[in-house]
A and B are shown apart, each in its own frame.
Chain A
Amino acid sequence: MNISRRRFLRLLSGAGVTISAHDWLFPRLEAYANERLAYGDLRGPGFTSFSRSVCRDCPNHCSLAMRKVDELPVGLRGTPWHPASLGALCVAGQSQMQALFDPDRLERPLQRPDAGAAAQAVEWDEGIQVLDERLRGLLSSGEGEKIAVVDGRTPSLGTRLLESWVRSIPGARYIPLRIEHALDRLVRQFLGGGAGGRLRFDLARAGTLLLVGSEILEHDGSPVTQMRTHGDRRENPLLSHAPTLYLGARQSPTAVQADYWIPCQPGREHEILLALAEALSKEHPQRDSILPEYARWISDALDPVGFARRYSLESVARRNRLDVEELEAAVRALRRFHPAVTLPGPGILRRPNGFSDAFAGLALNLWTDGFREEGGLSWGRDPLTDLTQELGLGPPGEADPASLSNILDPLFEIQRSPVDVLICVEANLVHELPGQDQIARALSHIPFVASFSTHEDETSRLSHVTVPTLIDLESWDLPSAAWGSPEASLQVQRPALVPVVEGRAVEDVVLGLASAGVAGPGFSPGAENWKDTVKAAVELIVERREGDLVDADGRRTLESASASAAVRSLVSGRSVWVAPSEPGARAEESEAGAEAVGGRGVRPERPPRLTDLAPNQLWLIPFDTPAVQRGRVLNRPMMMEISGMTHGLAWESWVEIHPVDARPRRIVTGDRVKIRGPRAEISTRAIVTRGVTPSVVAAPVGFGHEAFGSVAAGRGANPLKLPFAVLDKRTGAPAWGPVPVFLLKA
């Protein structure tokens, strides 16, 4: 056969096309085929997949695995790779799905002409525009100090971004609303430690463990880890006979687990602690040098002798209705089982004089060096510190504990606001701070309030613009705690599913504002949008993994030499104690009480005496429990059912009272009771139990939402209505305090 040129060329070109196709087309076809056929076969009906994210309800930041069947999320589980949780997950973490699919979630920003008015939903850009204008105005006029941002979230790269954005604006205030910060700061002041670091108590190394207002098994730091270490401690043959003592007015689950519960009248913990310290210090070399420090600071019994008399076991036991044998037993235990350590927890700061208790608690540690030497006390350096710098977010600043009260106090006294713009980021001030109505009134005096929140909560109702935020399962972030811990692991929070609500992360809003020029000079984030920022951060960490994650020098051992110096530094400076006015006080009286917060009429710090109680009056002690989390998780039906479970309650709040107080009032478990405090009256169910000390009414904090979704709203009562709005100036802790109340059957 003969081939014509034309035909030859055709063949040639055909061959060329085929060859080129072989390189370019076939791989794609193959890939497509794989995608379509092979992979398609693989994921038949019922195909189960897991996508991971991080729960940030508590600082433990357990990592979650969302189980999906046919791409449909069907539940959350812990991941066994997480160093702290090892596959476990607490109640709140498991209920996140319900928050995710809550029909009441905000989808678009809400705007109000003025606080308290009816809100109308606006477009995203509109909502942010309002914020933009406000801030821009203040920036242009150089009044940065009129901006304040309250951040209620657990620490993460996101909070750091927000922080550095705020700090970049000269004078603007960034206020983290977290009690752990206060405690860390206090401890740091006393025991030293790196800035932005976090102190960790390794229970597994403690001999005697004396818990003061510290619910380690519930919500101090990381419940999951603490529970584990506690359990292991019980198994540890060396420590299996070492006791755990719990000092407090209520037998919390932690106290239930403790071997010994020393019930004491609320606000008198420090007395008992000092008594123990006194008893222990008998043979201590530094006794004479240190005791005067206490004496001076406690501001009575100036001479060591008087101190010794006042804080002898006998007198303290008498004042607290305890057997002296009990205290002696405690002393014996502290002497015998070394190393002994005292844990002053956040709970102890929830009081106007909580500082003194915490201080006294720490004071005991002076005699417990062994614990430190064994590495039981360690200082976790927070890698975010360096990381944020490398990301161009600048160094983290030290939050001023008094700043929030500095803002609120003037509002209580003279209704003139020190700030023009208050931005609350997932911080429901009205619900979580004591003196609800006071706070609400205070907010109403601020010219412009903006709130970032998933639901329309009490604070958003009083804010001019409310911006929706994302649930942890939908958003990007880099939580700090987990990989700040010595047993480190890189953990990235990322969307576990397509966002249920089309929304924006807080950080994206911030970056948007920044890129629009609403930011200080120093602020230069790596990327335009939040997702890329997180990714950049992750890359950085992976680069410097060794340097960061195994922080050898991060741990600091503490020098007892610095102790007395620390005492001195603590003693100088003044904190606030407002004496609760007489019950049934009229409005103006309570105003007067509130004014005291501003600094006028301040009394020397002193725990409330039992004589402060009028006849048949009781101490109300609001307590914080992880199944309620100050109301932050109550928009999930599961939490509503589980929170009161051990008392056989669901969808309800309660108060715990002792039979001694219940009998004369003819109250039995399940009755409705009224609690009348100096400021307000609440009604809830009573649980008669011997798990509290006599003359105490213990109430969980967080119920009684007025907004925050249909599930949470109007269930139970909020005990924080009763106390005055007191924010401890030294610790910045909202002082729930023991409040004298009347209890009667409804």
Chain B
Amino acid sequence: MSESRRSPADRDEPLYRPIEHTGAGFYLTAALLMAVVLFGVYQYVNQFRLGLGVTGMNQPVTWGFYIINFVFFIGISHAGTLISAILRLNQAEWRRPITRMAEVITAIVLLIGGLHPLLDLGRPDRMLNIFKWGRLQSPLLWDVMCITAYFAASTVYLYVPMIPDIAKLRDRGTRPRWLYDFLSWRWKGTPRQRQVLNRAMNILMVLVIPVAVSVHTVISYIFAMTLTAGWHSTIFGPYFVVGAIYSGIGALLVIMIVFRKVYRFERYLKLVHFANLSKLLLVMSIIWFYLTFSEYLTGFFGREPAELAVMMFKLSGPYAVPFWLMVLLNFVLPVAILSRKRTRTIPSILVVSIGVVVGMWLERLIIVVPSLAVPYVDFPSHPYWPSLTEISLFAAAVALFWLGFMVFAKFFPLISIWEIEEGREVAIEEASSRIAGYLPDEPDTPVPEGTGRAER
């Protein structure tokens, strides 16, 4: 009630606060993360000088941390755009404070994930050969294509809904003026402009979803297109997509909870949002388990020796620990905690979602390494242990992600203000009218001709 009396401008004051006031904590964290990133850079320069010998990869296990992290980060990137697009499409009203964060995650993580194949190259100096001699037949090129497309689409999809907010910042005279001036494209919120914006957003939503799905499918194809036992499987496409969305939601939840605490968004990100998202998480977890199960069952039942060897290597061999840990974190824990309303509290959700993110990383590990470590022919296998270089580059990537997120939060609102306002102003009537539209008509009203399409 007290809310409604205050003016819209200062009502959402807390959303502007992170942009306009910067505390010492920010610089401290930024410096810390920066240090990690710089160390990673140093390690990479080392690798560039000395070759991939500084990593822990070896003869049968020719792909290691870099590819694992590549798949992992791209997976995270599905958090954003896909989720927000889906939620927008079916007009889930509780989406409003979430979408922005989700989209930001996508944009940043895509950048980082896209870098990883380059880290993995033995001759980064020859990277341009991809442009000079590229073969679109190679799944790697499919990746290049899809990821660029996804990055383009999702950045646009991040930017377009942000225009009104930028305009608000411009009107408040927040520095740097020129930036907001330039990015807001003279947004005044006229009906025409709103209509353009809505239409553009609808197009993008429809565009982004298939692209997002294609991206992770194609990444799975990198593996599935080879004849290698444990990779050569048709389920990999959907399996990877589901896993990606799953880990994405996990990451989104972590981010939300953290920044909610840091920037005191408690009033915007309420328990209901987390509850809804965690239900989504639960659903994904079950789907993920279903796919994992069918993947392994088919491999196991066929008793195809090579397949079986890889599987035993995972289930009871050297990779048993990560495997069962993965099952615990990705299935047992979420189902145990999230399925009960009583335990669906924010701290437990935080624990679960961190677990999910870790578990999904383990899943990538378990997909990539064992298949290589157990080749068809009898080849002396050597254990794979990541070297300091690989570990520190992983740390740097994670640090870079947080850093990127913080910096973004310094320039743009993490929660889309205009959508919140729109929610306050129009959404309630709209929603109720929509719900009314669902209800059965009164017996005396005449049957309306045409389709009973709900008004927007």
Question: Does residue B347 face the partner (Cβ distance < 8 Å to A)?
Answer: no
Closest Cβ neighbor of B59 among chain A residues: A648
**Which A residues lie within 8 Å of B380 (CB)?**
647-649
Interface residue ranges of B348-389 to A (CB < 8 Å): 379-380
Distance (whole angstroms) from the CB of B93 to the closest CB of chain A: 59
Interface residues of A in 608-666 (CB under 8 A from B): 647-649
The answer for the CA separation of A649 and B381 in the assembled complex, in Å, is 11
Residues of B within 8 A of A (CB-CB), count:
2
CB of A636 to closest CB in B, whole Å: 22
Encode contact with A along B251-276: 1 for CB under 8 Å, 0 otherwise. Answer: 00000000000000000000000000
Give CA–CA (A649, B380) in the complex, Å: 8
Shortest beta-carbon distance from B58 to chain A in Å: 12
Number of A-B contacts (CB under 8 A): 4
Please indicate the chain A residues that have their CB under 8 angstroms from the CB of B379 in the complex: 648
A260-275 with Cβ < 8 A to chain B: none
Task: Give CA–CA (A649, B382) in the complex, Å.
Answer: 11
Chain B residues with Cβ below 8 Å from A647 are 380
Chain B, residue nearest A669 (CB)? B380
Q: Which residues of B contact A649 (CB under 8 A)?
A: 380
Select from chain B the residue with minimum beta-carbon distance to A645: B380
Q: Mark B375-412, 1 if CB is under 8 A from A, else 0.
A: 00001100000000000000000000000000000000
Smallest Cβ-Cβ distance to A649: which chain B residue: B380
CA gap between A647 and B380 in the complex, in Å: 7
Q: How far is the CA of A648 from the CA of B380 in the complex (A)?
A: 5
Of all chain B residues, the one with the shortest Cβ separation from A647 is B380
* Chain A nearest Cβ from B73, distance in angstroms: 34
Tell me, rounded to whole Å, the shortest Cβ–Cβ distance linking B198 to chain A.
Answer: 64
Q: What separation, in Å, do the CA atoms of A648 and B377 have in the docked complex?
A: 13
Task: Report the separation of the CA atoms of residues A535 and B380 in the bound assembly, to the nearest whole angstrom.
Answer: 51
What's the Cα separation between A647 and B379 when bound, in Å? 9
A121 to B41, CA, bound (A): 50
Chain B min CB distance to A737 (Å): 31
B302 to chain A, nearest CB (A): 27
A290 and B379 CA atoms in complex are apart in Å by: 53
Distance in Å from the Cβ of A671 to the closest Cβ of chain B? 12
Interface string of A365-408 (1 = CB under 8 A from B): 00000000000000000000000000000000000000000000
Chain B residue numbers with a CB within 8 Å of A648 are 379-380
A649 to B379, CA, bound (A): 11
A666 to chain B, nearest CB (A): 15
Q: A31 CB to closest chain B CB, in angstroms?
A: 54
Name which residue of chain A comes closest to B381, CB basis. Answer: A648
In whole Å, how far is B378's beta carbon from the nearest beta carbon of chain A?
9
| Nearest CB in chain A: distance from B197 CB, A | 63
Q: How far is the CA of A497 from the CA of B296 in the complex (A)?
A: 63
Whole-angstrom distance from the CB of A551 to the nearest CB of chain B?
47
What residue in chain B is nearest A648 (Cβ atoms)? B380
In the complex, the chain A residue whose C-beta lies closest to that of B383 is A670
In angstroms, how far is the closest chain A Cβ from the Cβ of B217?
A: 37
B319 to chain A, nearest CB (A): 16
- B361 CB to nearest A CB, Å: 28
Among residues of A, the one whose C-beta sits closest to the C-beta of B380 is: A648
Give min CB distance, A335 to chain B, whole Å: 38
Taking the closest CB of chain B, its distance from the CB of A170, in whole angstroms, is: 58
Q: How far is the CA of A648 from the CA of B379 in the complex (A)?
A: 8
Q: Mask for B46-73, Cβ within 8 A of A = 1, else 0?
A: 0000000000000000000000000000
Min CB distance, A584 to chain B, in Å?
Answer: 34
- What distance in Å separates the Cβ of B104 from its nearest Cβ neighbour in chain A? 48
Kindly report which residue of chain B lies nearest to residue A646, judged by CB atoms. B380
- Contact flags B234-254 to A (C-beta < 8 A → 1, else 0): 000000000000000000000
Q: Min CB distance, A646 to chain B, in Å?
A: 9
Question: With A and B bound together, what is the CA distance between A5 and B379 in angstroms?
Answer: 98
Give the complex CA separation of A228 and B134 in angstroms.
49
Provide the bound-state CA to CA distance between A614 and B18, in Å.
78
CA distance A601 to B380 in the complex (A): 48
In the assembled complex, the CB of A664 is this many whole angstroms from the nearest CB of chain B, namely 20
Question: In the bound complex, how far is the Cα of B380 from the Cα of A73, in angstroms?
Answer: 34
CB distance from B376 to the nearest CB of A (A): 16
Tell me the nearest residue of chain A to B379, going by C-beta: A648
Mask: chain B, 400-439; 1 = CB below 8 Å from A; 0 = not = 0000000000000000000000000000000000000000
Residue of B nearest to A644 (CB): B380
Task: Tell me how far the C-beta of A656 lies from the nearest C-beta in chain B, rounded to whole angstroms.
Answer: 15
Write the nearest CB–CB distance from A642 to chain B, whole angstroms: 14
In chain A between 180 and 219, which residues have their CB closer than 8 angstroms to a CB of chain B? none
Interface residues of B in 269-327 (CB under 8 A from A): none
**Closest CB of chain B to A264's CB: distance in Å?**
28
Nearest chain-A residue to B378 (Cβ)?
A648
Output the least CB separation between A685 and chain B (Å).
12
Closest-CB distance, B379 to chain A (whole angstroms) = 8
A647 to B378, CA, bound (A): 11
Question: Once bound together, how far apart are the Cα atoms of A691 and B90, in whole Å?
Answer: 67
Distance between B156 CB and nearest chain A CB, rounded to angstroms: 52
Q: Can you name the residue of chain B whose Cβ is closest to the Cβ of A650? A: B380
Q: How far is the CA of A648 from the CA of B58 in the complex (A)?
A: 13
4 CB < 8 A contacts A-B: A647-B380, A648-B379, A648-B380, A649-B380
Q: Which 4 residue pairs of A and B lie closest in terms of their CB atoms, listed nearest first?
A: A648-B380, A647-B380, A648-B379, A649-B380
List chain B positions with a Cβ less than 8 A from chain A.
Answer: 379-380
